[in-house]
Structure 1
Amino acid sequence: MMRAPRKTALTLCVATALLATACTSRGGPPLESDDGSSEATGTVEPPPDAPPLEPLPAEIPAELQPYYEQELSWSDCGGGYECGTLTVPLDYANPGGGDIDLRVTRSAATNPDQRIGALLMNPGGPGASAVDFTQSSAEYIFPSEVLARYDMAAIDPRGTGGSQPVECLDGPAMDEYTLTDRTPDDEAEEEQLLAAFDEFATACAENSGEDLLSHISTIETARDMDVFRAVLGDDQLHYLGFSYGTKLGAVYAGLYPQNVGRLVLDAAVDPRLPTLYTDREQSGGFETAFRSFAEDCTSSFPDCPLGSEGADDASNRLSAFFEQVDAEPLPTGEDRQLTESLATTGVANALYAEFLWPDLRQALSAAINDGDGAGLLSLADDYNERGPDGSYGSSNFAFPAISCLDSPAGNADVAELETTIGSFEDASPTFGRDFAWATLLCAAWPVEPTGEPVSIAAEGAADILVVGTLRDPATPYAWAEGLADQLSSGILLSYDGDGHGAYGGNSPCVDSAVNRYLLENISPEDGTTCS
């Protein structure tokens, strides 16, 4: 799946494997033939029932007590924040087998007399640094009333940020990786793509070690969060998670329902869905988001580079442009050319937030009309976290490492891919093939998955506020509906809008409802829709 662009401060899930980040969208039910059987074009059956996530015992085991009772040494790290190191077991099943140190941060509530507790934040990914996100974004996301009553806090999930981050390819190798054709047209290109997946996975094992790669699952990170809650001195966990962060928050609620405080899960992920379904549905989500952009572009801007005939014609024009770039990459004013894979990444990146639509119009106009790929390359680099010096952010590596550990690969090999690729193209004529081939990255992964899709009820938990955006590209609205429905105390708040994530300035209505929940512990009516 894909992350959110860095400009938006949110990080999400998308299935484009060479982008090394992850999430999904609603591609519709599988098509059926007249006799009710699945068509041979590659449709998939409805997902199987997911087993329930069972809560852990409320009593902390004796071997874990030292972790829960540790005292952190805090030091000033700027901007009103303190930073420290939280020590947790590498393997909760074997607490004596070694530890891992995690970077944590906190800032004090500005009105400590009215303090509710610490409010943990996670921007998603998986793979983004929650510490960096919190320190840079909390004061812009929350109103002063929330900052007055909560300590802002965060923990970098294991394998990310300052918590022993996963390492894979160096900058030049990543440049080559992101250039690889993700929609192969012949056997030679297929072999090149599979070799790129193998090289990436092998580098992650060699540079990170299989011990780390085997113990960075969402369940393990959720258990780390409970240790952090106790160390901070809170009886309940208060939490705001975006995108993949909603999965992390939901897993926490499933494991520790008795410790749930005020949880906000925005741009929700449905943990019941297998990888194949999330990847396919996410491709549909990007299709929906592109069509929303295309309708706006073709109806409101006479110089729209995708014409003036509506979304269908715009989609055909964009596909033709991708084919043209596949055959002949565009110059960008630097050593790297704009290939089809980078062009697709650039377009997808701009669909994460409506405020990026003008950038996308300008970049497409330069590319289509003037043969200049610099604008789309810049959008792709932003998504890929490629710096001016050619280095890449570590979330490119943590994303697949966590995703592939959490759930088995969507397709095991090319033969299996060929039976499902049609359903991806049905879900998204524009992005479907790209997403389908991306499913094979986890098939090359060097460690076996330890997780599986689960259903989370969190029986006995306090109200959990689930927020979904109707035209979210990376986490389809249907996922928010699904998560709120399976949680025994889930409350669904919907935003009739575009972009990835709703809280934090996109809708005064959403902001008001979330702030009231955080400050007064009063939930909106289930099913409320904001515009």
Structure 2
Amino acid sequence: MRRTSAFALVAVVAACVVPGVAQAATSQQASPTPAPLQWGECPADSGVTTLECATLDVPLDYQDPTGRQIEIMISRLASDNQEQRRGVLLTNPGGPGASGLNFPTDLKDAGLPQSVLDSYDIIGIDPRGVGQSTPVTCDLSLEQQLMGNLPPYAHNAEDVVERAVEVELVAEQCATSETAWMLPHTTTANAARDLDMVRQALGEETASFLGYSYGTHLGAVYTTLFPETSDRVVIDSSLPPNGLDHEAGKLMGPGFEERFPDFAAYAAARPELGLGNTPDEVRAKYFEIAERLDEEPTTELTGALFRIATLSNLARDSHFPTLVELWQQAEAGRPVSVASNPLTLSDTDDLGFDNPLSSHLYVLCGDNEWSRSIESYQDDVEAARKPYPMYGPAAANIRACAFWPEIDRAPVEVDDQGPSNVLLVQNTRDASTPLIGAQQMRDALGDRVRMVTADQGGHGVYLFGTNACANDSVTDYLVTGERVSEDRFCAAE
């Protein structure tokens, strides 16, 4: 769940349930047919240089499909093998709020097998509200951008109240911004409907899907709404079926505790790093540094940001050297480099995070009802403190959704109705989307899904982990359609 790359939970989100397939079909039949796509160069400010891009119009409100329209921008890495080409693979890197335009290139660079590249046109998408699609804003200040999308560690009930004051202002800004008209419609359900509009615009009878992190929720909702036109669906590093609500956010407390021993073992095996000679000493060092920074923060780093940066760098084993650097700099009181700390202060008045953070909140707060009781968050923080002291009191802290304006929500309930065409892959030790959430998603999808669990740590299995059993399971399904016949556990390699 990092801010600037593939699994971004971007740096910085009693409902009326849509009755699933029947309503989706009605809405789509009434929607205007997308115009043919005009492919060309991607916008210069998108940072996408090796792909082609196109835009399509989609309804702002699928209950009024011929009303106001917004733009969705997509990218394409086309297959060069027309004989093997099966169709299109829609992708999502995570978030919500993450740009997906360059994700086809990211996947290729991460080692997406040639057999997959031959089988599909890989489609990247900036979801509604994000980046080159019609964007949203909350007019966030530099200081608010630096707050990020993850709550800070709460030491006591007063810290929750202090955070509540900050996020209430953010919620008010979102509700009064120039894009507040998009606020009720920037949801996962509508993003999933947009995916089917993309499929239609591409001229495809069906579309496959590969989504990571938040993209698992998007993919599950997509195939729930469109079970007959979603082809091979892969969801990797899964949220629970309700998406990133408060309960899912709290799971980062136990997730951090389950993943941290991997880093502690790495650092303890290298005593020359100075972080401890045993895993217990490394764990103690974490508390020592965090508590010192709580008392004496530096210009670049506070205790809260130290904890968040540690969580961020637990996403990959390959990030461990960067995390070591961050700890060493914090331990020595040296300035923290941008490479080590993605939350470093800037000399400008805009970090460029307004749109990712704003769109993150639009979706997070629009998808689910959140408690409006500050006391309930104080209770959750205290309940997390003893069992999950490393990160639990941050994961349970209050977010802007507690002060979101009243809107009509229509979340989609992920269920087991439809063809058995979903493959879920999950690491055993994932700090951001822990295994328990994936197991809940697996239960919700029932016989529609098979689950492959890899005994490894980190956020992201396919291509971003090293377990050949899990990687091959995904490639085989995408290329041949042969999915594991029953849930599979892939032992550590």
Above 0.5 in TM-score? yes
Alpha-carbon distance between aligned partners in 2 of 1:13 and 1:503, rounded to the nearest angstrom? 18
**Which residue in 2 is equivalent to 1:70?**
35
Change (3 A) 1:387 1:167: farther
Contact 2:424 2:451 in 1 (8 A): yes
For 1:266-415, list aligned pairs within 5 A.
266-272=236-242, 275-298=245-268, 300-311=269-280, 313-330=281-298, 336-368=299-331, 370-375=332-337, 378-381=339-342, 391-393=351-353, 394-409=355-370, 411-415=371-375
Residue 523 of structure 1 deviates from its aligned partner by: 0.5
CA 1:174–1:496: 2 relative to 1, 3 Å: same
State, as a whole percentage, how many aligned pairs show the same letter. 27
Aligned to 1:249: 219
CA contact (8 A) 1:121 1:154 kept: yes
Instruction: Show the counterpart of 1:40.
Output: none
1:42-121 aligned at under 5 Å gives the runs: 54-56=20-22, 64-66=30-32, 68-77=33-42, 81-121=51-91
Query: Which stretch of structure 1 is more off in the superposition, 70-79 or 54-63?
Result: 54-63
Q: How does 1:96-175 map to 2 (within 5 A)?
A: 96-170=66-140, 172-174=142-144
Mapped partners of 2:9, 2:413: distance in 1: 18
The equivalences for 1:445-464 within 5 A come to 445-448=404-407, 450-452=409-411, 454-457=413-416, 459-464=417-422
**TM-superposed deviation, 1:275:** 2.5
Aligned mate of 2:474, from 503, 509, 514:
514
> 2:170: which partner in 1?
200
Shift of the 178–266 alpha-carbon distance from structure 1 to 2, 3 Å rule, reads closer
Q: How does 1:409-488 map to 2 (within 5 A)?
A: 409=370, 411-437=371-397, 439-448=398-407, 450-452=409-411, 454-457=413-416, 459-487=417-445, 488=447
Q: Would you say the 8 A contact 1:408–1:449 is kept in 2?
A: no
1:58 CA drift (Å): 7.4
Q: Is 1:4 aligned to residue 2 of structure 2?
A: yes
For 1:246 and 1:385, locate their aligned partners in 2 and report how far apart those are by CA, in whole Å.
Answer: 32
CA distance change for structure 1 residues 209 and 321 in 2, over 3 Å: closer, same or farther?
same
Q: Which moved more, 1:467-476 or 1:478-487?
A: 478-487
Shift of 1:319: 1.9
SS at match of 1:460: coil
Instruction: Find the aligned partners of 1:485 and 1:191 in 2 and give their Cα distance.
Output: 36
For the residue of structure 1 that corresponds to 2:98, the secondary structure is coil
Unaligned runs of 5+ in 1: 23-47, 331-335
Distance (whole Å) between structure 2 residues aligned to residue 449 and residue 283 of structure 1: 31
* TM-score, normalisation: structure 1: 0.83
- What code does the residue aligned with 2:163 have? L
CA contact (8 A) 1:505 1:511 kept: no
The amino acid of 1:149's aligned partner reads S
- Going from structure 1 to structure 2, the CA distance change for 1:309 and 1:504 (only over 3 Å counts) comes to closer
In 2, the alpha carbon distance for the partners of 1:516 and 1:109 equals 18
**Aligned twin of 2:230:** 260
- String of CA shifts for 1:238-288, please: whole Å, max 9, x gaps: 111001101101001111111121111011112147833212212211222
Query: Contact 1:171/1:392 (CA < 8 Å) preserved in 2?
Result: no
Q: Could you report, residue by residue, the CA deviation over 1:308-363 in whole angstroms, capped at 9, with x for unpaired residues?
A: 2324x433332232121111113xxxxx3311222122111111111011111122
Offset of residue 486 of structure 1: 2.4
Q: Is the 8 A contact 2:208 2:233 kept in 1?
A: yes
Q: What's the offset of the Cα at 1:184?
A: 4.9
Distance change (3 Å), C-alpha of 1:379 and 1:134:
same
**Could you tell me the TM-score, scaled by structure 2's length?**
0.89
Residue 45 of structure 2 is matched in structure 1 by: none
2 CA distance for matches of 1:274 and 1:137? 24
Q: Secondary structure at the match of 1:381?
A: coil
- Please report how far the alpha carbon of residue 179 of structure 1 lies from its aligned counterpart in structure 2 after TM superposition: 12
Deviations 1:163-216 (A, max 9, x none): 122222455333664599934557775554222112222232333432111111
State the alpha-carbon separation in 2 of the partners of residues 354 and 452 from structure 1: 35
Match of 1:491 in 2: 450
Give the superposition deviation at 1:152.
Answer: 1.2
For the pair 1:527 / 2:487, whether they are aligned, the reply is yes
Give the counterpart letter for 1:392 in structure 2: G
Q: Indicate whether 1:210 and 2:180 are aligned.
A: yes
Query: Does the aligned pair in 2 maintain the 1:52–1:456 contact within 8 Å?
Result: no
Q: Is the contact between residue 384 and residue 392 of structure 2 (CA under 8 Å) also seen in structure 1?
A: yes
* CA–CA separation in structure 1 for the residues paired with 2:251 and 2:159: 25
1:132 and 1:206 map into 2 onto residues whose CA distance is: 31
Closer, same or farther: CA 163–56 of 1 in aligned 2, 3 Å:
farther
Offset at residue 392 of structure 1 (A): 2.8
C-alpha contact 1:407 1:449 (8 A) present in aligned 2: no
Unaligned runs of 5+ in 2: 43-47
Aligned to 1:37: none
Tell which deviates more after alignment, 216-225 or 277-286. 277-286
1-side partners of 2:128 and 2:244: how far apart?
23
Q: Give the one of 205, 209, 234 matched to 1:239.
A: 209
Deviation at 1:518, TM superposition (A): 0.9
